[in-house]
Structure 1
Amino acid sequence: MTTRGGGTPRRSAADPVWRGPGGRNRNVDIANNYDPKIDAARAAARAAARPTPEQAAILAAKRRHWDRISRRLRPIVLAEYGELCWLCQGAPGTTIDHVTPLSKGGAVDDLANLRPCCSNCNYRRGDMDADAFRSILRAERPKVRPSRNWFG
């Protein structure tokens, strides 16, 4: 691959795979050998991960249902439990989280199962147990030692 005066990569006969402006292509090994089987396997994996039209319709209906419930219950949840994230207690609760995840049988619209949660904690937690997630949060926080011994 050769470059122009500004350092932009340019395709040449010696370099059969165009690597784009970043100069990288993950489907090329050290000797610049391109393997079409890798691209085919990646395409098959992406196609398998896509939901079928029936699954997509069911998911869309569930999202519309949850949006209606969320708009109705969000002010009630924030008034009942405060505005801070119930997991990290540091950020404002911008989303509503389920104490018992829906995938583990939690109720969708039960106020006892809903808490305010920051978007970071809500997305990172997934369907993990709240106590297990809090232990991960505690492990990530740096332990700060006092700069001097104030009591002795």
Structure 2
Amino acid sequence: MVGNPRNGRPYRRLVDWLRAQRLPCWLCGHEIGYDLDARHPLSFTLDHEVPLSRGGALLDVANVRPAHRRCNSRKGNRTPGPQSSGPVRSSRRW
């Protein structure tokens, strides 16, 4: 029986590499609390731009982005729209 690939050394190295960059959340653009408890809604999680359930690669550096736990959960297995190459921001036209 094969174990969970997210518990393997290559995945943990990828998470550590992304965490070390201390980038803002790619979904909302706000700073991430890298030192917060992992259960906190504003803590760091690794998010896959193309979800694994839609054919995204688990260990592809080009497919991973930093996200808040809350933003990552809200996104689910959806992919961002074609216009978003960076953080998703909504603005109001006045």
TM, length-normalised to structure 2:
0.65
Which entry has the higher C-alpha Rg, 1 or 2? Answer: 1
Unaligned runs of 5+ in 1: 1-56, 146-152
Query: What SS does the aligned partner of 1:130 have?
Result: coil
Name which structure has the greater RCO, CA cutoff 8 Å, separation 6+.
Answer: 2
Q: Which residue number corresponds to residue 37 of structure 2?
A: none
Percent identical pairs in the alignment equals: 33
Match for 1:89 among 18, 25, 29? 29
Q: Which residue number corresponds to residue 38 of structure 2?
A: none
Structure with the bigger percentage of helix: 1
Write out the 4+ residue segments of structure 1 that deviate beyond 4 Å after TM superposition. Answer: none
Query: What SS does the aligned partner of 1:72 have?
Result: helix
Q: Which residue number corresponds to residue 59 of structure 2?
A: 109
The count of residues paired between Structure 1 and Structure 2 equals: 79
User: Contact 1:70–1:96 at 8 Å: present in 2 too?
Assistant: no
Q: CA deviation at 1:67?
A: 2.8
Q: Deviations over 1:29-75 (max 9, x none)?
A: xxxxxxxxxxxxxxxxxxxxxxxxxxxx88xx33xx21334422112
What pairs with 1:9-28 in structure 2 (closer than 5 Å)?
Answer: none
Query: What SS does the aligned partner of 2:81 have?
Result: helix
Query: What SS does the aligned partner of 1:131 have?
Result: coil
Cα RMSD for the two superposed structures: 2.9
Unaligned runs of 5+ in 2: 33-42
What pairs with 1:60-139 in structure 2 (closer than 5 Å)?
Answer: 61-62=3-4, 65-68=5-8, 69-79=10-20, 82-92=22-32, 94-131=44-81, 134=88, 138=90
